[in-house]
Structure 1
Amino acid sequence: MIAGETATGVIEAFRSVMRVGRALKQEDRQSAAALLGFLDGAGEQRLGQLACGLAVDPSVVSRQVAALTRAGLVSRRPDPEDGRAGLLTVTEQGAHWLAVHRRKQAERLVAALAGWSEDDATHLLTLLRRLEDDVRHLTTKESPRVP
């Protein structure tokens, strides 16, 4: 069991890293990357499935998908099982945009970790994946309500 003071320090450090990360990126690009990355990994999806997978409101996803469709990064086709619904997929242009975006992110991270050893970076990755799994596990339990 970790001490409350340590937990608070971890939370504050994590928030700080997230704030710095957000400052380095344009929000629109990050939202597009998250949506394209999920769609690329999960495959063809309905808008509702995509919203659920990204844990955001369908209206937010709808606006993002509309913009990405206009930009040629996402395509929509009728769902053969329900003509009222559409199936979304990443286009070839979208896959290229995502690959470039990911490469640029990786280059930034490599620059930020330039003074780190491979062992330290691997250890960080292991711990971050463990944290991700543990936090994901928590989301299946009821969280305390905010007053």
Structure 2
Amino acid sequence: MAARSQYEELARQLSAIGAVKRGLARILPAECPGGSAAVLTLLSRHGEMRISRLAELLSVDMSVTSRHVAHVAERGWIERFPDPADKRSRILRLTPAGEGVLDDLSRRTTEMFAGHLQDWSDEEVGQLNTLLARLRDSFSCRGTGGCAPGKHSGDCRPRQADSHDGSYTRTPV
């Protein structure tokens, strides 16, 4: 286990992540605020789903999720259709136009990071990606058994199969 001072420094460094998040927010087009980008990203990563599942993944309540969904649906970036298993529910699906928006967001994000990290080696960027994924994973346990980091059960954390290629690289926000 690391020394207390290491955790204090980690807390300071993570609080500075706000500058990175603000940089990411600045590159979003006006018609695609952060909440909309998150909706598109999650639908791309996880596939079609009910709005309740989307709200869970966004970690926001249904009213906020509904506003985000309405925004992207009005622009034709997602489609809503009846759930065959429950006609009262709707399934959300990314459209080709939504994929195009995501491609643009991914390009913008990649260019921003490439510009800001141009003095970093590929190895350093890879190490950061690995460590950030590990940090996120350590906080992801939601299992009822209260598992410990590094000792997760299959239902307590995101599985790599939840993303298209086993990575978490297509998150523009």
- 84, 87, 92: which is aligned to 1:83? 87
Equivalent position amino acid for 2:87 in 1 = G
Q: CA deviation at 1:105?
A: 0.6
Equivalent position amino acid for 2:21 in 1 = R
- Partner residue, 1:5: 5
Between stretches 109-118 and 20-29, larger displacement belongs to: 20-29
- Partner residue, 1:72: 76
* Structural mapping, 1:1-147, within 5 Å: 1-17=1-17, 19-24=18-23, 25-26=25-26, 29-137=33-141, 139-140=142-143, 141=146
CA displacement 1:63-114 (0-9 Å, x = unmatched) = 1001111111111001111111111011110110011001101111111110
The 8 Å contact of residues 43 and 94 in structure 2, kept in 1 or not, is answered as yes
Equivalent position amino acid for 2:46 in 1 = A
Identity of aligned residues (%): 31
SS where residue 116 of structure 1 aligns?
coil
SS where residue 82 of structure 2 aligns?
strand
Structure 2 alignment gaps of length 5 or more: 148-173
The alignment's TM-score, normalised by the length of structure 2, stands at: 0.75
SS where residue 19 of structure 2 aligns?
helix
SS where residue 136 of structure 1 aligns?
coil
Q: CA deviation at 1:133?
A: 1.2
Structure 1 CA distance, aligned partners of 2:99 and 2:59? 22
SS where residue 75 of structure 1 aligns?
strand
Equivalent position amino acid for 1:58 in 2 = M
- Partner residue, 1:145: none
Q: CA deviation at 1:23?
A: 2.2
Q: CA deviation at 1:50?
A: 0.8
Kindly report structure 1 stretches of 4+ aligned residues shifted beyond 3 Å.
Answer: 139-142
Structure 2 CA distance, aligned partners of 1:98 and 1:91? 11
Equivalent position amino acid for 2:132 in 1 = L
Structure 1 alignment gaps of length 5 or more: 143-147
Equivalent position amino acid for 1:7 in 2 = Y
The alignment's TM-score, normalised by the length of structure 1, stands at: 0.87
